[in-house]
């Protein structure tokens, strides 16, 4: 069920004392996993001179069979090193469900942006941890509602018939077949890239694997 697509939500705060700190989380996310995700999420930006991506990022955690939909947060804070505070919101989902999040990535931009702005306010106010938990509970509900609506819309579109069948007089003159070859190292996301542009993201009629053949309407 799509409510289970979201495996957890984690907010990582970059602390001057201890580095990446998993400050708030929702879901069954053990401490070792929280630390692993927090460290990778923050350190992946090492060497970027304090710059963060403006849009959502999908980051793999292959050892956990998970991926994360990440929104980086940055704000001015004179009490911190460099006068800047940084953090990251990470929404966790299974690798096998990544096509859904790739396909509908743009739909999640607005709710994550709204949460990021509220986090900045909470950080500046030195708000207690409970306030963050309430905020992420709202995000969890919003994302699950989005997923359910997207699934229903996708199924409705699949079942709808936009145009009646039309007999083609010279079918032999029509040939739309073509072949696309995607090359890359293992586990870099070749199948996810292809499947992002296919229909039926919520259907499980494909198996992302080495050598997979994807034939679908795009």
Q: Which has the higher per-residue pLDDT, 89 or 46? A: 89
In a domain, 192, yes or no: no
Q: How many domains does one find in the chain?
A: 1
In a domain, 204, yes or no: no
pTM confidence score: 0.74
Torsion of CA 129, 133, 134, 139, to 10 degrees: 140
In a domain, 207, yes or no: no
In a domain, 65, yes or no: yes
Which residues in 107-131 are b (16+ Cβ under 10 Å) and which e? ebeebbeebbebbbeebeeeeeeee
Check residue 213 and give its pLDDT.
53
DSSP H or E stretch at residue 175: none
In a domain, 108, yes or no: yes
| Secondary structure E strands in the chain | 8-15, 19-26, 57-61, 66-76, 84-94
In a domain, 22, yes or no: yes
Residue 121: which domain range? Answer: 2-154
pLDDT tens profile 130-168: 999 999 999 999 999 989 888 888 777 666 555 555 665
In a domain, 85, yes or no: yes
pLDDT tens profile 164-213: 556 655 656 555 666 777 787 776 777 667 666 666 555 554 445 545 55
In a domain, 175, yes or no: no
Q: What is the mean pLDDT of the chain?
A: 82
């Amino acid at each position: 069920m799509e409510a289970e697509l979201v495996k957890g939500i984690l907010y990582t705060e970059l602390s001057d004392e201890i580095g990446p700190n998993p400050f708030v989380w929702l879901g069954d996310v053990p401490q070792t996993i929280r630390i692993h995700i927090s460290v990778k999420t923050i350190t992946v930006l090492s060497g970027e001179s304090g710059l963060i991506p403006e849009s959502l990022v999908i980051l793999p955690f292959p050892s956990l069979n998970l991926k994360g939909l990440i929104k980086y947060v940055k704000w001015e804070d004179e009490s911190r090193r460099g006068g800047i505070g940084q953090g990251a919101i990470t929404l966790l989902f299974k690798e096998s469900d990544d096509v859904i999040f790739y396909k509908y990535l743009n739909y999640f931009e607005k709710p994550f942006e709204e949460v990021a702005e509220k986090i900045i306010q909470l950080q500046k106010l030195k708000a207690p941890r409970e306030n963050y938990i309430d905020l992420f509970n709202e995000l969890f509900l919003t994302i699950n509602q989005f997923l359910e609506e997207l699934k229903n819309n996708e199924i409705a579109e699949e079942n709808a018939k936009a145009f009646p069948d039309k007999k083609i007089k010279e079918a032999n003159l029509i040939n739309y077949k073509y072949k696309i070859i995607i090359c890359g190292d293992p586990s870099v996301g070749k199948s996810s890239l292809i499947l992002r542009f296919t229909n039926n993201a919520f259907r499980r009629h494909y198996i992302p694997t080495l050598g997979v053949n994807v034939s679908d309407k795009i």
